[in-house]
Chain A
Amino acid sequence: MSVVVYVESQNGVIKKAGLEVASYGRAIANATNTSLIAVTFNTNDSSVLNSHGVDKVYNINTAEDSFFNVDRYSASLVPIIEKEEASIVVVSATADGRYLGPILAVGAQAAYFSNVVALPSSYAPLTVKRSCFTNKAFNESVSNQSKAVICLSSNAFGLKEQTSNAENLEGEYLVSNSTLKVTAVDKVTDKVTIADADIVVSGGRGLKGPENWHLIEDLAAVLGAATACSKPISDMGWRPHNEHVGQTGKPVASNLYIAIGVSGAIQHLAGINSSKIKVVINNDPEAPFFKAADYGIVGDAFEVVPKLIQKLRAIKQ
């Protein structure tokens, strides 16, 4: 028996999402009195996992094959899951984690639960709470299998510290016979992504034009936040589609979501509902977003946001 967590890293450094699944895995290992095993790929230094209770780390070196390849990662994880006799495997709800989860579940002959928002309420049989109906409801689901893969919603559990002294092992990179190859990755590397962010600052049509986007970017910069936009903004090409949040865009589950000039169409709210605290700044007091928000300012974004940036800068200094 053991718990295996797939800990994501980027440029050799473990991501926050990876530490969250390690924290979650540790809590399961504590509750079921078993050990926690982390698997990472191309990580330079995994010592941070000793602060999150990991007992054993397999680092897999993929050599010159530097891109995430779902079939190869799954093929490399399955033998470790089998060797360690894991009954629960945890992955992050990042784009890669959500891609890997179902493929890994079939490979490891495990049940699969996505959008899991809390620790299991029972381990025999495994029972988890997951969100559904695009965050408008939850369900309690039970596993009918002896193994399960859990995809943990971002920021659902948070980071918990527990000291450990992990044994470091090398895992084997197994290239499956799949024809799937990743040939190029094109992404912004100097910005926090929506999936990784604690805070997301989002803009809508109230910004009036792409030339005013600096308001969103400056506020995001002072908060260390990711930037996002509503659907019309990406449809009009002011911002790339990968910043569009909502039902047909990216899901957001940040601790703080600040919507500026976003009216709050039901499709938008569906995508951001699992954010913990929502703030809206909009000059229309009738905007539907005010019904979904925790805090709101009825006012002109062009006046309120610069003031907010100035005050926050003063605090941060």
Chain B
Amino acid sequence: MNILVCISNVPDTTSKINFKDENKSFDTNGVQFIINPNDEFGLTRAVWLQQKSGAKVTVVTVGDSSCEPILRKCLAIGADQAIRIDAVPSDGFYVANQLAALCKKENYDLIITGRESIDYNGSMVGGMLASLLSCPYVANCIQLDIEGTTVTLQREIDGGKETLSASLPLVLGAQKGLVEESDLIIPNMRGIMQARQKPLSVEAPMEIEAATTVKHFEKPQSKGPVKLVDADDVDTLIELLQNEAKVL
């Protein structure tokens, strides 16, 4: 089985979010980049399939050379090879089209994306990619069982979960639950050494226009300090929520 895991290079959760060029672009100064957490759940699941049934795991990202360290990390975690599509990931539609072009060339059986990236939070690449490939997509995926070409999956929904079935090829949006945080693989020295020898190829992007353009960013207005209410005085809290915040 051929598995593609799509990886997004995102700022670490604890990063300070700042913008530059008159708020037109994200200021990467001092920011630590990580594998998007949802993608890492998916990668871990793919590595399990590789260990269990000998699946071949390819990771791909759309980005410039600054994304290569996280691709190397994916190789150290266990992916067999990495591809970098050398382009600025300007919007979800653009990225989905770049990935679709690769998928049409390579015929992957299973394509794993994260349910969303923690930077642009678009949660769109997986669904768009599946639509461009005319294959099914399962978002917020928390369980995956493959029997031949038949796949049974679970999707987390509001207030519960649902069970779905589909045939390969298929795209899924991974999230916590597909594997647990304690299952994530921390690369060991052997993995890191091997990762240096594994292939990381750079491919040229296809020509396509992005569907949307970010004009500028802004940060939310800073809010005032917390209003503290005495623990013996819940009446005041209720009064504030009713009359000041008007939420009760």
Contact = CB atoms under 8 A, between A and B. Distances in A.
Interface in B139-181: 139-140, 142, 152, 155-167, 175-177, 180-181
A138 interface: yes
A143 B119 CA distance: 19
A94 B160 CA distance: 13
B93 interface: yes
B127 A111 contact: no
Given A180-B165, A191-B159, A193-B158, 20 more contacts: A94-B158, A98-B139, A99-B155, A102-B122, A105-B211, A112-B124, A114-B121, A132-B119, A134-B121, A142-B215, A180-B164, A184-B162, A185-B163, A247-B118, A255-B247, A256-B247, A270-B13, A291-B226, A297-B230, A311-B238
A308 interface: yes
A206 B162 CA distance: 31
Q: Which of B135, B182, B220 has the most CB of A within 10 A?
A: B220
A242 to B, nearest CB: 6
13 contacts: A95-B140, A99-B140, A102-B125, A131-B121, A140-B215, A142-B214, A180-B137, A184-B163, A185-B162, A290-B226, A297-B230, A311-B238, A312-B238
B192 interface: no
A266 interface: yes
A223 B37 CA distance: 34
B128 A105 contact: yes
Contact of B93 (A112, A241, A256, A298): A112
In the A-B complex, the 8 residue pairs with the smallest Cβ-Cβ separation, listed nearest first, are: A187-B160, A299-B231, A102-B127, A106-B131, A102-B124, A193-B159, A180-B136, A111-B211
Contacts of B215: 127, 139-142
Interface string A132-166: 11111111111111000000000000000000000
A194 interface: yes
Contacts, number: 258
A144 B214 CA distance: 11
A30 B43 CA distance: 46
Q: Which of B38, B92, B137, B226 has the most CB of A within 10 A?
A: B226
Contacts of A256: 241, 245, 247-248
A135 B223 CA distance: 14
B164 A181 contact: yes
A145 B121 contact: no
Contacts of B93: 105, 111-112
Interface residues of B, number: 79
Given A186-B161, A279-B241, A248 B38 contact: yes
B37 to A, nearest CB: 6
B227 interface: yes
B124 A114 contact: yes
B123 interface: yes
A102 B131 CA distance: 9
Given A144-B210, A184-B163, A103 B128 contact: yes
A124 interface: no
Interface residues of A, number: 89
A65 interface: no
A308 B248 CA distance: 13
Interface string A287-308: 0001101111111100110011
A107 B93 CA distance: 12
A199 interface: yes
B212 A140 contact: no
B14 A295 contact: no
Nearest to B132: A106
Nearest to A226: B159
A63 interface: no
A241 B156 contact: yes
A127 B212 CA distance: 9
B166 A107 contact: no
A170 interface: no
Contact of B92 (A70, A102, A131): A102
Contacts of A182: 162-164
B156 A103 contact: no
A199 B247 CA distance: 8
B216 interface: yes
Interface string A89-105: 00000111011011101
A101 B127 CA distance: 8
A123 B38 CA distance: 34
A114 B122 contact: yes
Contact of A295 (B138, B139, B214, B229): B229
A141 B228 CA distance: 38
Nearest to A131: B121
A113 interface: yes
Contact of B220 (A70, A137, A140, A280): A137
A182 B180 CA distance: 24
B162 A106 contact: no
A238 interface: no
A75 to B, nearest CB: 11
A294 B245 contact: yes
